[in-house]
């Protein structure tokens, strides 16, 4: 369950009301949410395949810099290596299983078979934000998320990205 304070922090981070929040999947070292788990379907029933959403604007900016520098292209090329490809396939299956469990636990219909997982898994690297969010939520699961997370640096070091008053929400 997500608290009102956490929902308020996520809204401040995103600059809009969050949709389909289920839980905080990871907290930044500053204590605020930086990854949330979202329902596989929005309240109106619309499919929402992104289970883990990177909410911290500083983390998102650091990852955007990696994307702009061409890291996704480099990672996709490395999928030719069978070992890396197999590890990425395992991350894909993990994501699908976690999303299926989230659907069951939140009482929504699962997404149809064949719905993409996230970030381009398992055949390409399309969104480092999704892969980093997956790795933060499930450490040791996503090889490219782990690499991007290491390359992103210490986005939290300046302190909290937003201020949320007690009782806000």
Q: SS3 string of 77-120?
A: HHCCCHHHHHHHHHHHHHHHHHHHHHHHHHCCCCCCCCCCCCCC
pLDDT value, residue 111: 95
Query: For 32-60, what is each residue's pLDDT tens digit?
Result: 999 999 999 998 999 999 999 999 999 99
Mean pLDDT throughout 72-77? 98
Which pTM value belongs to this model? 0.94
Residue 83 pLDDT class (50, 70, 90 cuts): very high
Q: Are 118 and 51 in contact (CB under 8 A)?
A: yes
Q: How many CB atoms lie within 10 A of CB 78?
A: 16
Note the pLDDT tens digit of each residue in 122-132: 999 999 999 99
- Could you tell me which residues come within 8 angstroms of residue 82 by beta carbon, excluding any fewer than 6 positions away? none
What pLDDT, on a 0 to 100 scale, did the predictor assign at position 167?
56
Q: How many CB atoms lie under 10 A from the CB of residue 68?
A: 9
When mean pLDDT is compared across 28-37, 109-118, 128-137, 158-167, the lowest value belongs to 158-167
The predicted pLDDT at position 168 comes to: 55
Query: What's the pLDDT score for residue 1?
Result: 78
Would you state the torsion angle of the CA atoms of residues 113, 146, 22, 64, taken in this order, to the nearest 10 degrees? -90
Query: Which pLDDT does position 165 carry in this prediction?
Result: 73
Q: Which is more confident, 17 or 169?
A: 17
User: Do residues 56 and 13 touch, judged by C-beta distance below 8 A?
Assistant: yes
Q: Cβ of 74: how many Cβ atoms within 10 Å?
A: 13
Burial of residue 5 (number of CB atoms within 10 Å: 0-12, 13-18, 19+): middle
């Amino acid at each position: 369950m997500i608290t009102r304070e956490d929902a308020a922090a996520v809204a401040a981070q995103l600059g809009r009301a969050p949709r389909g929040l289920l839980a905080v999947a990871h907290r930044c070292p500053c204590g605020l949410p930086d990854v949330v788990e979202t329902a596989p379907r929005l309240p109106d029933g619309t499919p929402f395949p992104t289970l883990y959403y990177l909410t911290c604007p500083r983390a998102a900016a650091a990852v955007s810099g990696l994307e702009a520098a061409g890291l996704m292209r480099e990672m996709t090329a490395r999928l030719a290596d069978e070992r890396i490809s197999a590890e990425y396939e395992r991350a894909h299956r993990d994501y699908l299983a976690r999303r299926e469990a989230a659907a069951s636990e939140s009482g929504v219909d699962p997404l149809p078979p064949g719905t993409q997982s996230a970030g381009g898994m398992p055949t390409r690297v399309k969104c480092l934000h999704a892969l980093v969010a997956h790795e933060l939520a499930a450490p040791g699961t996503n090889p490219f998320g782990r690499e991007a997370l290491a390359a992103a640096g210490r986005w939290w070091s300046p302190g909290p990205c937003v201020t949320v008053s007690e009782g806000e929400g």
